[in-house]
Amino acid sequence: MKKIGVLTSGGDSPGMNAAIRAVVRKAIYHGLEVYGINYGYTGLITGDMRKLELGSVGDIIHRGGTILYTARCDEFKTEEGRQKALDELNRYGIEGLIVIGGDGSFRGAANLTKKGFPCIGIPGTIDNDIPGTDFTIGFNTALNTVIDAIDKIRDTATSHERTYVIETMGRNAGDLALWAGLAGGAESIIIPEVDYNMDEIVGRIIRGHERGKKHSIIIVAEGVGSGIELSKKIQEATKLETRATVLGYIQRGGKPTAIDRMLASRFGAKAVELLLEGKAGRMVGIERNQIVDHDIIVALSGVHKIDEDVYKLSQELSI
């Protein structure tokens, strides 16, 4: 293998740039040429790509977003779109592709591999919802962003003696809400993976208020429903002033933490190694702090699970 491509696809996440840098530098270290494809699979179809040199990925390890831009591409879901992408890859003489993104992006990589083109997936999403890895690139940074927001909201919640409902992203997964809720000391954490009991949440807020607590923080994952609607119901039931904050896209941006830069660097290097070993249709991951790889099908057919111990602990500490 002499020439490989790299792209980012789906929702961006902090640390994607560090992963691109690792792919490019590791590949050049091993004598490969690397092409960066712009706008994910859309750029693959339109042939929007350029050669990346060592300098192309200088000064990006600390930047959020992705220098390759990203997109969600419907055309690539069609056979015709995938054939156009293959034609472009062949035209450029690219022999292997590294895809940085979430499960939708992995599905694309699996389909290309099925057509005989070797692809490797690197999990990059703030949602931390990819089976086959304990962590995804960007989760740690987003988690710190949410905790920073919780700390700030707690200040004003105390001053005004209010309850705050904070809605986090995560699509259908509750990891971001769960970890942020535990690390941020929330009273209740509501996630899609576990049924919640409104009476219990209300009871906990009222009991806290009666023993002189100045605020209550409730974290709700977007996959459960609207934080604004929930805050209205809580105010009605507790008769305590309640406000909602939807954190939204600030969770997707910002400087990646050291942990995300490390993860991205390790994932990027491993992905190049796999292509050099002649592997295809694999995803990289981290399990118990060891870099691993699995059939990409693991990410697509497995079910994301929350860490039960973390959930149990969050319950025990928020009595």
User: Which positions are annotated as active-site residues?
Assistant: 127
Structure tokens at 90: 């062949």
The dihedral region occupied by 304, where left means phi > 0, alpha psi between -120 and 50, and beta the remainder, is beta
Residue with tokens 């999990």: 123
In angstroms, give the least distance from the CB of 156 to ligand F6P.
Answer: 25
In angstroms, give the least distance from the CB of 126 to ligand F6P.
Answer: 6
In angstroms, give the least distance from the CB of 189 to ligand F6P.
Answer: 17
**Around Cβ 224, how many Cβ atoms within 10 Å?**
19
Neighbouring residues of 266: CB distance < 8 A, sequence distance ≥ 6 = 22, 286, 291
Distance linking the first and last C-alpha atoms of the chain: 57
Q: Pick the closer one to ligand F6P by CB: 305 or 312.
A: 305
The rounded distance, in Å, linking the Cα atoms of 43 and 129 is 25
In angstroms, give the least distance from the CB of 72 to ligand F6P.
Answer: 6
Q: For the chain, what's the residue count?
A: 319
The rounded distance, in Å, linking the Cα atoms of 205 and 202 is 5
The rounded distance, in Å, linking the Cα atoms of 191 and 319 is 17
Residues that bind ligand F6P (CB under 6 A): 11, 102, 125-127, 169-171, 222, 252
Check if the beta carbon of residue 48 is closer than 8 Å to that of residue 36: no
**Around Cβ 305, how many Cβ atoms within 10 Å?**
11
In angstroms, give the least distance from the CB of 213 to ligand F6P.
Answer: 31
In angstroms, give the least distance from the CB of 214 to ligand F6P.
Answer: 31
Check if the beta carbon of residue 268 is closer than 8 Å to that of residue 22: yes
DSSP code at position 86: H
Q: Pick the closer one to ligand F6P by CB: 171 or 294.
A: 171
Please name which of 273, 217, 274 lies closest in space to residue 245, comparing C-alpha atoms. 217
Structure tokens at 234: 């809580």
Structure tokens at 287: 């399990």
Q: Is the dihedral of CA 150, 156, 158, 161 positive or negative?
A: negative
